[in-house]
A and B are shown apart, each in its own frame.
Chain A
Amino acid sequence: MAGEDTLVDELLAGKHRALARVITKIENRSPGYRDLVSQLHDHTGDAEVIGITGSPGAGKSTLVDKMAATYRERGETVGVIAIDPSSPFTGGAVLGDRIRMGSNVGDMDVFFRSMSARGSLGGLSTATTDAVKALDAFGKDKVIVETVGAGQNEIEIVKTADTVAVLVPPGSGDDVQMLKAGILEIADIFVVNKADMDGADRTVMELREMVEMRDASPMAGHHGADAMASEDTEPADEETGWEPRIIETVAKTGEGVEEFLGTIADHTAWLTESGELESQTRKRYEAEIKTLLREDTAALLEEELAARGGLETYVDRVLDRKTDPYSVADELVAPIAACVRERRENGD
């Protein structure tokens, strides 16, 4: 088996197998994957990342297929990461997005990778971010991340994208209702797909109404749900702000795809001109570091917990009213905190 160094070299040299293997290592969190991703970082930052989300059956995969084909016609290379849910019981999954990639089969310059949201694993967004880095370092011009917009996890993932498009199928107002629960804030572009179906006009209208309402709300702002926005990021002002666009497409026939890609390009241009791209990137790295810190400290604590005989014994004592959860947490964290403080004071 090739070592990590050669794997990175091979990836950078454009070997598909190496890219595929690196993503596998990222997904499996194989020993050494962190070094791999660290080495890739230097080679990233050139790809344009587009996130596509929406309810099941909205036509995401079909649209992604057409997007990839159109980019390829323009001579650009494309990477796609399609995320599907997995069974929380068996961990198994059928990853079906690939079937829709009919326009790009046989074209190795579209690198399509299916990923599953592996059960309880909280690090899906980390894995996705890292896989995007691998595709970026490989030299893909566009990286598309496709995911079912069903929960917080997915929203986190989509936030790794420069431009986020939310697909809305026409029809019952329920889909628009669903959007209210947090997806509205992340959309740079709304795509009313299957626009040839009845009710598309109404859906467009409802979306437009909602976008206007958003503008009137004091909470408005790009990716406004970012609670951790720091002081130095300017609030999006009226002049330079990006108002979510609404696009109609029929992914099956390719209708509207050119316009959609044009709007993505507009958004990218706006990101660059407004300086939003830079602040977005900063925020993203900020979030990435925080996530890693949280995961690593949690791992450290779990190790400590295991060394002390596991969580169960503490739960037993809490049940018997011998101690309480706060005291348990203090007891576990105190020695670590003491150790860290001591080293800090000693200037290590």
Chain B
Amino acid sequence: MSTEQEQRTIRCLVAKVGLDGHDRGAHVIARAFRDAGFEVIYSGLHKSPDDIVQAAVQEDVDVLGISILSGAHDTLVPKIMDGLGEYDAFEDTLVIVGGIIPEDDREELYEAGVAEIFGPGASMAETIEFVRENAPER
């Protein structure tokens, strides 16, 4: 085993933000990511945008998956994006959102820097494939 041999593993933070207690989806995706060979950090429930930023920065995750079903995405997600920017983590973190996001709100999230939105019906395989292909090169 060489000490120079690189051993890269995709690291993800699965985050629940705000007053949204629906974590079944987050659990399912966390397990699916794990089984896909990723290292998954789960934030736990009811985190503030700052908490999520802290976790994303310290854990140096490649992917931040925000699960949100409360409808507060239009305020919470941009706050997270700003926070990532504050710590120079905006550029090389792939941010994806899962949950209930109305069609009308999507453009705004994309503009804020969200790479992709996975609504109800999105398949696990599709999500994992997206992460594999788009995880930032560092």
Contact = CB atoms under 8 A, between A and B. Distances in A.
B32 to A, nearest CB: 9
Contacts, number: 123
A92 interface: yes
A28 B36 contact: no
Contacts of A99: 42-44
A98 B45 CA distance: 12
Contacts of A13: none
B59 A105 contact: no
B88 interface: yes
Contact of B51 (A20, A93, A105, A295): A105
**Interface residues of chain A: helix, strand, loop or mixed (majority):** mixed
B135 interface: no
Contact of A93 (B8, B34, B44, B89): B34
A78 B110 CA distance: 36
B123 interface: no
A292 B7 contact: no
Name the residue in B54, B55, B87, B88 with the highest tally of chain A Cβ atoms < 10 Å from its Cβ: B54
B41 to A, nearest CB: 5
Interface in B1-42: 1-9, 11, 30-31, 33-42
Interface residues of A, number: 47
B34 A94 contact: yes
Nearest to B38: A92
A121 interface: yes
Given A34-B4, A90-B36, A114-B59, A95 B41 contact: yes
Contacts of A299: 1-5
Interface in B66-124: 87-89
A27 B4 CA distance: 11
B1 A20 contact: no
Interface in A66-104: 86-87, 90-96, 98-99, 102
B131 to A, nearest CB: 12
A136 to B, nearest CB: 16
B125 to A, nearest CB: 15
Contact of A20 (B33, B35, B60): B60
Contacts of B59: 20, 98, 112-114
A23 B61 CA distance: 11
A65 to B, nearest CB: 12
A1 B39 CA distance: 23
A31 B43 CA distance: 30
A5 interface: no
B48 interface: yes
A24 B50 CA distance: 21
Contacts of B60: 17, 20-21, 23-24
B132 interface: no
Name the residue in B8, B37, B87 with the highest tally of chain A Cβ atoms < 10 Å from its Cβ: B37
A57 interface: no
A261 interface: no
Interface string A284-299: 0000000010011011
Given A94-B42, A112-B58, A31 B34 contact: no
28 contacts: A17-B89, A20-B60, A29-B3, A29-B5, A34-B4, A86-B39, A87-B35, A90-B34, A92-B40, A95-B40, A98-B41, A98-B42, A99-B42, A99-B43, A99-B44, A102-B44, A106-B50, A112-B58, A113-B58, A113-B59, A114-B39, A116-B39, A123-B1, A126-B3, A292-B3, A298-B1, A299-B5, A302-B1
- Going nearest first, the 3 A-B pairs with the smallest beta carbon separation are A299-B2, A20-B60, A92-B34
